[in-house]
């Protein structure tokens, strides 16, 4: 009989101790952090599921490649290896390194957008929205209707609503739409994949209006694997071939290599347009660095060059997708409401359904994330009213799984903690916002528990 257990496809060479704290310590730490888990030192976290971004474990091949890093200011062979590795998968003519994804976004929007423009996306990630709005353009989310129903199972909930895209372009005029973006997988929409058919359909609409299509490619390998598993006609193709096909439909991309680049830092911006690339490189020099390093060390470029290929290995992707689903399936089985089906890099708990007695204006996602910390030292993140303000259609708590970091027993522990909090959910209170910054407020916001608030309505 064939062995069914799917194991971590690696063995551990170097270990990093994690520290237990008491419930009382965690209560105090949470209060001191203004109920914002971003403000708690990582040494006081037991299992850190805040993000899958830059938190992965590198392979022996990546560490070995880093030793080859050439730190020349200009023309480093590390850049050549990085560019060749990116081009072999992504296929774009110009590859511009940046220190992380948002730097690529800032440069892209500064070059392509101006005040009054409109940028459609399946769902803008927070930094994407912020960078788009910072140059005065309007960021419009056009997810398919299925995306707003957390419990609904659909293979490609990350898809863009193509009818709405066509209507939007018709309404505002193609001249005001400098680019269309597709985020694969759709992080803010539950880590859900975008199908190849949807990418093709979006491209067709863009092509009719001569609008370039850009892919926010952070989790391109996970998206490719979902296509292989779920889309007719792709089962026999490699994730690499699927990724190459995805990018053939696009005119450029932004990438945070902290996700499917398997690196701890880095990103890039790609385009096929010579004039746009020239303008982007001019801006790059201003804030990121010379175009052959773009704010990265030569060794970082080497780690990404190797990591992009490792992210496409089938054994790795199978383990990655199955182990994320393991967490989701185990808590869903006990009744915990999650975004279905489980995403690629994270499980998203539906905080509005978990805490129906806490209004969205009382930040159910922030309250739930705080309780998971108090119960078991787990750090997660709210994706909802705090992150998106009035644009929020859901209040989710994201449990993002760092790549190649935690074992199944860590995840079993996380399941136990969530189920303990689930048992006492009715006693959990909402929060009142006491401090917020003008941009990306979730990073620094502070709260106090609603019970201690004066008797007036909370504001988002």
Cβ proximity to ligand PLP, 218 vs 311, nearer residue? 218
Q: Does 271 bind ligand PLP (CB under 6 A)?
A: no
Closer CB to ligand PLP, 257 or 332, in the complex: 257
- Binding residue for ligand PLP, selected from 78, 100, 131, 380, defined by CB under 6 A: 100
Identity of the residue, 188 or 340, whose beta carbon is nearer to ligand PLP in the bound complex: 188
Gap between the Cα atoms of 416 and 397, Å rounded: 16
**Which segment (99-107, 297-305, 313-321, 379-387) binds ligand PLP by CB under 6 A?**
99-107
Which one among 78, 121, 127, 195 touches ligand PLP, defined by CB under 6 A? 127
Q: Is 53 in the site for ligand PLP (CB under 6 A)?
A: yes
Tell me how far, at minimum, the Cβ of 425 lies from ligand PLP, in Å: 28
Question: Shortest CA distance to 216 belongs to which of 297, 59, 117, 105?
Answer: 105
Q: Judged by CB under 6 A, which stretch of 123-131, 157-165, 189-197, 349-357 contacts ligand PLP?
A: 123-131
CB crowding 181-220: b at 16 or more within 10 Å, else e: bbbbbbbbbbbbbbbbebbebbbebbeeeebbbbbbbbbb
The dihedrals phi and psi of 279, each to the nearest 5 degrees, come to -60, -40
- Taking CB under 6 A as the criterion, the residue among 56, 69, 97, 101 binding ligand PLP is 101
Of these, 76, 78, 256, 324, which contacts ligand PLP (CB under 6 A)?
Answer: 256
In the set 258, 299, 320, 404, which binds ligand PLP (CB under 6 A)? 258
User: Is residue 214 a contact residue for ligand PLP (CB under 6 A)?
Assistant: no
CA angle 453, 456, 460 (to 5 degrees): 85
Span interacting with ligand PLP, options 125-133, 161-169, 359-367, 372-380, rule CB under 6 A: 125-133
Say how many Å lie between the first and final Cα of the chain, rounded.
56
Q: Which is nearer to ligand PLP, 190 or 370 (CB)?
A: 190
Longest dimension (CA), the chain: 65
Nearer to ligand PLP, 102 or 320 (CB): 102
58 near 307, Cβ under 8 Å?
yes
Q: Of 322, 402, 417, which Cα lies nearest the Cα of 5? A: 322
8 Å CB contact between 92 and 253: yes
Q: CB 8 → ligand PLP: shortest distance, Å?
A: 23
Residue 216, interface with ligand PLP (CB under 6 A)? yes
Q: How far is the CB of 294 from ligand PLP (least distance, A)?
A: 13
Q: How many residues does the chain have?
A: 460
Residue window 330-349: x/- pattern of binding to ligand PLP, with contact defined by CB under 6 A? --------------------
Sole window of 79-87, 96-104, 301-309, 356-364 interacting with ligand PLP (rule: CB under 6 A): 96-104
**Residue holding tokens 């803010």?**
188
Q: Is 131 in the site for ligand PLP (CB under 6 A)?
A: no
The verdict on 288 binding ligand PLP (CB under 6 A) reads: no
380 touches ligand PLP (CB under 6 A) = no
Cross-strand bridge partners of residue 398: 348, 381
Nearer to ligand PLP, 295 or 430 (CB): 295
The CB density around residue 61, as the number of other CB atoms within 10 Å, is 13
- Selected from 59, 76, 183, 223, the binder of ligand PLP by CB under 6 A is 183
**Per CB under 6 A, which region of 5-13, 120-128, 138-146, 370-378 contacts ligand PLP?**
120-128
Does residue number 187 form part of the binding site for ligand PLP (CB under 6 A)?
yes
Mind giving me the DSSP string for 130-189? HHHHHTT-EEEE-B-GGGG-TT---TTTT-B-HHHHHHHHHHH-GGG---EEEESSBTTT
182 and 160 Cβ atoms separated by less than 8 Å: yes
Whether 177 and 119 have beta carbons less than 8 Å apart is answered as yes
The binder of ligand PLP chosen from 94, 102, 129, 404 (CB under 6 A)? 102
Give per-residue burial for 284-323: e unless 16+ CB within 10 Å, then b.
Answer: beeebbbbbbbbbbbbbbbbbbbbbebbbbeebbbbbbeb
Residue 39 near residue 28 (C-beta atoms within 8 A): no
Q: Which of 96, 52, 67 has the alpha carbon at shortest distance from 271?
A: 96
Eight-state DSSP code of residue 391: G
Q: What residue number has its CB nearest to ligand PLP?
A: 101
Whether 69 contacts 419, CB under 8 Å? no
Name the residue nearer to ligand PLP (CB basis): 126 or 231. Answer: 126
Interacting residues with ligand PLP (CB under 6 A): 53, 100-102, 125, 127-128, 183, 187, 216, 218, 256, 258, 267
């Amino acid at each position: 009989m064939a062995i069914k257990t799917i194991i971590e496809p690696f063995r551990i060479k170097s270990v990093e101790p994690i520290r237990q704290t008491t419930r009382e310590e965690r209560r105090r730490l949470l209060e001191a952090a203004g109920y914002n888990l971003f403000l708690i030192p990582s040494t006081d976290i037991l299992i850190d599921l805040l993000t899958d971004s830059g938190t992965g474990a590198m392979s022996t091949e990546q560490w070995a490649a880093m030793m080859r890093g050439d730190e020349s200011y200009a023309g480093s062979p590390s850049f050549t290896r990085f560019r060749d590795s990116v081009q072999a998968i992504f296929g774009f003519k110009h590859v511009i390194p940046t220190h992380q994804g948002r730097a690529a976004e800032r440069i892209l929007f500064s070059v392509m957008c101006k005040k009054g423009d409109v940028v459609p996306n399946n769902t803008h990630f927070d930094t994407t929205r912020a960078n788009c709005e910072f140059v005065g353009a309007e960021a419009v989310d056009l997810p398919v209707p299925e995306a707003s129903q957390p419990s609904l199972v659909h293979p490609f909930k990350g898809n863009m609503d193509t009818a709405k895209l066509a209507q939007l372009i018709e309404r505002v005029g193609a001249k005001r739409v400098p680019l269309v973006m597709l985020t694969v997988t759709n992080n803010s929409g539950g880590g859900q994949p975008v199908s190849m058919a949807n990418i093709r359909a979006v491209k067709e609409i863009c092509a009719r209006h001569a609008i370039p299509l850009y892919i926010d490619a952070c989790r391109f390998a996970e998206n490719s694997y979902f296509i292989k598993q779920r889309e007719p006609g792709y089962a026999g193709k490699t994730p690499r071939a699927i990724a190459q096909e995805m990018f053939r439909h696009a005119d450029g991309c932004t990438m945070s290599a902290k996700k499917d680049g398997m690196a701890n830092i880095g990103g890039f911006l790609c385009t096929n347009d010579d004039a746009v690339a020239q303008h982007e490189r001019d801006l790059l020099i201003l804030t990121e660095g010379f175009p052959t390093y773009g704010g990265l060390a030569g060794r970082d470029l080497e780690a990404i060059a190797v990591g992009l290929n490792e992210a496409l290995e089938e054994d790795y992707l199978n383990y990655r997708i199955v182990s994320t689903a393991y967490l989701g399936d185990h808590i869903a089985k006990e009744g915990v409401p999650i975004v279905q089906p489980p995403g690629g890099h994270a499980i998203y708990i539906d905080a509005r359904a978990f805490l129906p007695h806490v209004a969205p204006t009382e930040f159910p996602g922030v309250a739930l994330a705080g309780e998971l910390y108090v119960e078991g030292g787990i750090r997660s993140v709210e994706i909802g009213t705090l992150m998106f303000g009035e644009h929020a259609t859901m209040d989710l708590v994201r449990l993002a799984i760092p790549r190649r970091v935690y074992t199944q027993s860590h995840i079993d522990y996380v399941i136990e903690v969530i189920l303990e909090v689930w048992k006492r959910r009715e006693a959990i209170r909402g929060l009142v916002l006491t401090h917020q910054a003008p941009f990306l407020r979730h990073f620094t916001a502070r709260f106090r528990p609603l019970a201690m608030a004066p008797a007036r309505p909370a504001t988002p």
